[in-house]
Amino acid sequence: MSVDIQWYPGHMAKTKRELRENLPVIDIVLEVRDARIPTTSHNADLAELVARKPVITILAKADLAEEETTKAWIKALENNGLPAVAVDLKTGWGVRELERKIRIQQQIISQRLHRRGRQSRSLRGLVVGVPNVGKSTLINRLANRSAAKTGALPGVTRGKQWVRIGNWLQLLDVPGVLWPKFEEPQTGFYLAITGAISPDVFDYVRVSAALAEFLRNRRPEALQDRYDLDSIPKDGLPILEAIGQRRGFLLSGGSVDVEKAALLLLKEFREGILGRFTLDFPPNL
């Protein structure tokens, strides 16, 4: 089952304009990607915009991705000259390593200022990424306080905000930005099932049914073990019906509440209850 999803609300175009206006004062870019979809969650439009700035790539939600594949991604990025680090923002794992990499850039920039006869100052960083990837949560981890607004749905950050971290770093948090058109249906699908696209703009039953088919083909035991299924139907909607039947999601008259089953599958996939999944693989795998 294929799905074609597009989402580019007006505030994203505004955010790109604001990014362009603020770039002259930015020293470093922190690009936050989803560790499950490092390729899909990489915004090439933003990459082109910040091309002349040092970039550190952060693979967030590493606790939801396959561990060995994430290690391979970090190696592939580093081999291409991109400093990279994987983080689990729930526990803070990886954040200290990220801080170390940021401080290396701070030293480089301070030395450059010193050679020009200028005083050192706090580093100015820009945090970018697709919606709901964890940008604000990352800033709060670095700041050790709730300095940036966070939420479980895309679009919580609706305006830019500067956050000071000690006396050495200032971070500009901006809304998540996608690109105007997804060329491949798989792109919208991956962004939808990982939570980067507003649920208001896609048919969640159809997307969940496509996810059910994906799981059946990729790792059927995840469905069998979690939902106690004796067998897995071939198509997505019957899989959702089977899940709803096993969970007792029944409407009056005895029919299955497919919508409730669809929401459950999406939620448990996103939260890692079905296991750790990586959907994009580095070139060497």
Gap between the Cα atoms of 143 and 163, Å rounded: 8
Is 190 within the bounds of a domain?
Answer: no
Low-confidence ranges of the chain (pLDDT < 50): 150-158
Q: How far is CA 168 from CA 90, 165, 202, in A?
A: 24, 7, 42
On whether both 15 and 54 belong to a single domain, the answer is yes
Same domain membership, residue 215 and residue 116: no
Domain count, the chain: 2
- Nearest-CA neighbor of 57 among 17, 46, 164? 46
Whether 168 and 210 share a structural domain = no
Is 129 found in the same domain as 55? yes
- What confidence tens digit (pLDDT) does each residue in 102-111 have? 999 888 888 8
pLDDT digit string, tens, across residues 223-252: 999 999 999 999 999 999 999 999 999 998
115 lies in a domain?
yes
Taking every pair of C-alpha atoms in the chain, what is the biggest distance, in angstroms? Answer: 80
DSSP code, position 250 = B
Residues 238 and 138 in one domain: no
Q: Which residues of 223-262 are buried (b: 16+ CB within 10 A; e: fewer)?
A: beebbebeebeeebbebbbbbbbeeebeeeeeebbbebbb
Write the CATH number for 150: 3.40.50.300
Judge if 80 and 132 occupy the same domain: yes
239 plus 133 within the same structural domain: no
Give the CATH number for residue 223: 1.10.1580.10
> Is the same domain home to 58 and 100?
yes
CB-based contact 190:270 (threshold 8 Å): no
pLDDT at 147: 56
Residue 2: the pLDDT is: 59
Q: Residue 263 belongs to what domain range?
A: 203-270
Does a structural domain hold residue 212?
A: yes
Of residues 10, 8, 50, the one with CA closest to residue 191: 8
Determine the 3-state secondary structure of 31 from DSSP. Answer: strand
- In this predicted structure, what is the pLDDT of residue 20? 85
Of 47, 209, 233, the closest CA to residue 129 belongs to 47
Instruction: Give residue for tokens 């159809």.
Output: 206
Contact of 90 with 138, CB cutoff 8 Å: no
The pLDDT value recorded for residue 145 is: 67
Residue 62 lies in a domain: yes
> Could you give the 3-state DSSP secondary structure of residue 216?
helix
Residue 281 falls within a domain, yes or no?
no
Measured N-to-C along each axis, helices 135-143 and 95-115 cross at an angle, to the nearest 10 degrees, of 80
| Residue that is last in its domain, among 173, 193, 227 | 173
Do 55 and 164 belong to one domain?
yes
Strands 123-129 and 161-165, sheet pairing:
unpaired
Residue 54 lies in a domain: yes
Residues 165 and 222 in one domain: no
Give the Cβ contact number of residue 77 at 10 Å.
19
Does residue 3 sit within a domain?
A: no
